[in-house]
Amino acid sequence: MTNDTWIAVDWGTSHLRAWHMAQDRVLAEAASDAGMSALGRADFEAALLALIAGWLDGPTDVLACGMVGSRQGWQEAPYSAVPCAPLGAAPVRAHATDPRLRVHIVPGLKQVRPADVMRGEETQVAGFLARNPGWDGVVCLPGTHTKWAHVSAGEVVSFQTFMTGELYFTLARHSVLRHSLTEAGWDAEAFADGLKDGMARPERLAARLFGLRAADLLENASPEATRARLSGLLIGAELVAARPYWLGQQVALVGAAKVTGPYKNALDQQAVPVQIADGADMVRAGLKVAHDSLKETA
């Protein structure tokens, strides 16, 4: 007999989040820092059970997306090639020794030319389309590796990844700029200035970055202003390069409020029509689509 609840898992490089679900209703949730990069292949089952064992009272479907399906993950789920539906191929079964676990991993997407990949965001796109049937446009998923995906007729037609979030964090934590900015606080005017500069002269990024340090030393720029200006410079340069994705398009921003906020602000200034969807909601909605597909093919 099958339990009629199921478990949704978002398993990235540095995080693990799980939700105990009844259809599309959240019964419970849990998270840990047992991301893919912290685990060997033999550790995945234990890391998952550490979060969800209390939810299991019989064989239960676990639907997972993200880096857990990479070559270094629990079980490789080979990329589907775009153009294709965001959940272009069936989930891949991962071996578990606990008989209560029936683990299915959603494949990521790849693009051959220019070479690009995603794992996890395809599930959010699928969730967004499930909530917005027939939607055509561009889905932007800001984050460590921001994705812009052109969606038409239920398929991801093309996509492009920008390392904007990772540039921000590696610079903020590991470069000389770590002395000049905070991890919290925000200066809206400094963000707007950085955005304007980043869009006007994106090639000057490396000079503007050192300029943040010099402005701290010579002008006592505030750490909040430096942080916001850095974000503006990076997002500004990204918007210039991503222009073919947003110009004349309707854009859906999918993510947590703290990452979608600056992009919304920037796209508003370009008069781009933007709607916002919560990233965790879309993960669960996408995994629900994947879970439903299991039943159809069973």
User: Is residue 164 a contact point for a copy of itself (CB under 8 A)?
Assistant: yes
Phi, psi of 143 (to 5 degrees): 170, -160
* CB-CB contact of 32 with 52 (8 Å): no
CB-count burial class (<10 Å; 0-12, 13-18, 19+) for 205 = middle
From the list 167, 254, 282, 283, which residue makes contact with a copy of itself (rule: CB under 8 A)?
A: 167
From the list 27, 241, 247, 257, which residue makes contact with a copy of itself (rule: CB under 8 A)?
A: 241
* Least distance CB 264 / a copy of itself (angstroms): 19
Q: Which stretch binds a copy of itself (CB under 8 A): 21-29, 87-95, 238-246, 247-255?
A: 238-246
User: Is residue 15 a contact point for a copy of itself (CB under 8 A)?
Assistant: no
Peptide bond into 83 cis (omega under 30): yes
- Residue 116 β-bridge partners: 111
Q: Which stretch binds a copy of itself (CB under 8 A): 20-28, 82-90, 149-157, 167-175?
A: 167-175
Peptide bond into 114 cis (omega under 30): yes
User: Is residue 76 a contact point for a copy of itself (CB under 8 A)?
Assistant: no
* CB-CB contact of 5 with 21 (8 Å): yes
Helices (H), 30-147: 44-52, 121-131
From the list 35, 154, 211, 261, which residue makes contact with a copy of itself (rule: CB under 8 A)?
A: 211
User: Is residue 115 a contact point for a copy of itself (CB under 8 A)?
Assistant: yes
The residues of the shown chain that bind a copy of itself, judged by CB under 8 A, are: 13, 110, 112, 114-117, 145, 160-164, 166-167, 170-171, 173-176, 201-207, 209-211, 213-215, 217-219, 234, 237-238, 240-242
